[in-house]
Every structure is written in structure tokens, then in C-alpha cells.
Amino acid sequence: MPQPGPGRSHRQGITLKKLFKRFPDNAAAEKWFLEKRWPNGIACPRCGSLNVLTKTKHKNMPYQCRDCRKFFSVRTGMPMQSSKLGLQTWLIAMYLHSTSLKGVSSMKLHRDLGITQKSAWFLAHRVREMWRRDETKDEVFVGPIEADEAFIGGKVKSMSASRRKQFKGRGPFANKAAVAGVKDRSSNQVRIRVIGTVTSEALREFVERYRNERTRLFTDEAAAYEDLKRHDAVKHSAKEYVRDEIHTNGIESFWSMLKRGYIGTYHRMSFEHLFRYATEFEARHNCRDFDTEQQLILMVRGAEGQVLPYAKLVEYGERAVKIALGWKPPVHWRHRKTAKSD
């Protein structure tokens, strides 16, 4: 009997037992990746040609493009390129990430998969990479849309006395990074962006990105949105949370899932990688109505061209900080020395 997937009873899940029966080894997982990545036949990742020679004598690259002569495998041009982990391990990691609504810690992956915590951490970030959207291709929502912000990071009051000194006089949000989000009521889709510090420009630019002249907008009374057109706000300060259809409960329930992941699973999301964690929660929300296998297939499709070497992953810090317009990261977030700046 098909098992319901997590979150939604009508969708078809895959049990762990079934997962291992279907993918008992790397060969079975490789066959699945091949079918899902190239449903119309193996194509060259460099030039797209279908004129491909199979069963080459190359040690790790079983295919060769007859047009551009490039050797490749199912991993080439994907996050698993040059990974030493087996494809079965990759598939299990993808499965765990798509079925665990509050995320999977690298400690759990390390224990469950029998790999070091460092490679589990690297693996998890590359799995998140499969979920990354190209923001420039995002379409405008039909609406109405709800917009809100959340703050992610530890509390200053629960730090040790010596660390608390760094934050003295900088307010309760000094150690937190702001994340802006919109939720479209008609499609139930969510879009998230890490903005670092809340500024009117950052919030408005983000929200306006997802609407046109007909889309209605619901927010709380935050000043940033005040004079925007087709906009209604509820007054949280006056204990008003819902007025007819005007409320932000949808985006707020998304924040509560992200925060439960922060508190219960990850305990810490460093600012430089926060956008990846946000992507993870956003993607899981947006595909929660699909069957588990369908979710895994979407990840394979999204993985095309997403290569993330370890050096690039740890180097990212400085760029992420630059993205956060005007935001001054606390001292401990600035520890990472980057080899090259871009």
C-alpha cells in the first residue's frame, strides 16, 4: 500500500524500506540518476549533443561526446561532480532532506551515512544547491500576496558574558540577520531572500519584484510598506492579527517552520550560508504537494549545472556579507579569511 508522504496525506511517500529495496547499491542509484537527468537519452553536458559514445574505456567517465569529444559521467556538471561519495549515499541524503520537514543536521547525516561530519556538512550544502532557483527567472504572483520579515540568529542575552560585550548597546537584533519573505495565496508558493538588515529599500524592492499593478499586498504595520499601492495592513501592535482576508498568517507559518528548523535541528545557521538554509526550507515548502519521488526528480533537474567545489563553498562568506547591503556582521562572523576576493 502506498505510504502517505510527510506533511500532506494525499501525496505518495517512499518508506525507508522501499528506498533501500529500490536502490540496494550505487549501480541502481546511477541508473535512476541517468533516467531522471536524461529522460530523452544521454546528452553531452557541455554541448548538449545526443550523439554520445557509451562504454568508453575511461576509468570514471563511461560516455564520450562524438561532437565535442568530451568524456563525462552522470555526475559531470552536477553537485556530485568529483565527489567521492557513492550515488546511493547521494540519493539517501536527497531523500532525507526532502522528507525531513525541519531539515537534517550534519551530525545526523554523519551518523546515518557513516561519513565524517565534515563531508556530511559539505554533502548537505550541495544537496541544498539542487534546490536553488534562478531569482531572475521568477515570475510575478497573481496574489493576493503576504509579505513579512523574520530574524534568524542567536539571542544576545543567552551569550557568554565575554561575547555579549561585542554586542553591547546594539539592541536585541544585533546578532540576527533579517530574511524577507512573500507568500502567494493563489499558488501557495513562497519566495525568500536574506537581506541582512531591514531597510525600507530592501524590503520594498523585494516585495515589488513579485507583484504587478493588479496584485494586492497584505502586511503587518511595518513602516517600509506604508505608502505602497494596493496594500492593506493589520496592526499587530494593537493586537489585530486578522481583518477579513487581511492577515499574514501564511508567511508567518512558514517562518515558524524555519525557526523550528533553526532551534531544533541546526542550532546555528551561519550568516554566510543562511541563504542556503533559507533555500532549503523554501523549496521544501514549494514542492510539498508532490509525491516524494517527484520531489527527488525535481532536485535532479534543479541540479543541472550546479557544481559547488569545497573551496568555493567556504570562500563564499565575504560575498554573502557584501550582499547584505549595509549590514555590519558581528566580529565572529568576520573570522573567515578568503583566499581571493572577487
Instruction: Using CB under 5 A, list all residues that contact Zn ion.
Output: 44, 46-47, 49, 65, 67-68
Q: How far is the CB of 197 from Zn ion (least distance, A)?
A: 45
Task: Decide whether 46 or 260 has the Cβ nearer to Zn ion.
Answer: 46
Place of cell 554541448: 47
Q: How far is the CB of 70 from Zn ion (least distance, A)?
A: 5
Q: How far is the CB of 317 from Zn ion (least distance, A)?
A: 35
Q: How far is the CB of 44 from Zn ion (least distance, A)?
A: 3
- CA–CA separation, 125 and 120 (whole Å): 9
- CA–CA separation, 44 and 40 (whole Å): 12
Q: How far is the CB of 65 from Zn ion (least distance, A)?
A: 3
Q: How far is the CB of 74 from Zn ion (least distance, A)?
A: 15
Write out the three cell numbers for 307: 557544481
β-bridge partners, 232: 218
β-pairing verdict for 145-152 and 71-72 = unpaired
The set of long-range contacts for 16-24, using a CB threshold of 8 Å and a minimum separation of 24, is 19/91, 19/92, 19/95, 23/88, 23/91, 23/92
Task: Report whether 182 contacts 141 (CB < 8 A).
Answer: yes
Task: Decide whether 43 or 142 has the Cβ nearer to Zn ion.
Answer: 43
Task: Decide whether 28 or 307 has the Cβ nearer to Zn ion.
Answer: 307
Task: Report whether 227 contacts 203 (CB < 8 A).
Answer: no
β-bridge partners, 72: 63
Q: Which residues contact 140 (CB under 8 A, 6 or more apart)?
A: 210, 211, 212, 215
Task: Decide whether 49 or 265 has the Cβ nearer to Zn ion.
Answer: 49
Task: Decide whether 66 or 235 has the Cβ nearer to Zn ion.
Answer: 66
Write out the three cell numbers for 285: 515548502
Task: Decide whether 50 or 311 has the Cβ nearer to Zn ion.
Answer: 50
Q: How far is the CB of 223 from Zn ion (least distance, A)?
A: 54
Task: Decide whether 9 or 54 has the Cβ nearer to Zn ion.
Answer: 54
Task: Decide whether 47 or 311 has the Cβ nearer to Zn ion.
Answer: 47
Write out the three cell numbers for 83: 565527489
- CA–CA separation, 282 and 125 (whole Å): 15
Task: Decide whether 46 or 108 has the Cβ nearer to Zn ion.
Answer: 46
Consecutive H or E run containing 321: helix 317-323
Give the closest residue to 87 by CA, choosing from 180, 24, 4. 24
Q: How far is the CB of 39 from Zn ion (least distance, A)?
A: 18
CB count within 10 Å of CB 153 equals 19
Q: Which residues contact 176 (CB under 8 A, 6 or more apart)?
A: 151, 152, 153, 154
Task: Report whether 288 contacts 8 (CB < 8 A).
Answer: yes
Q: Which residues contact 156 (CB under 8 A, 6 or more apart)?
A: 164, 167, 170, 172, 174, 175
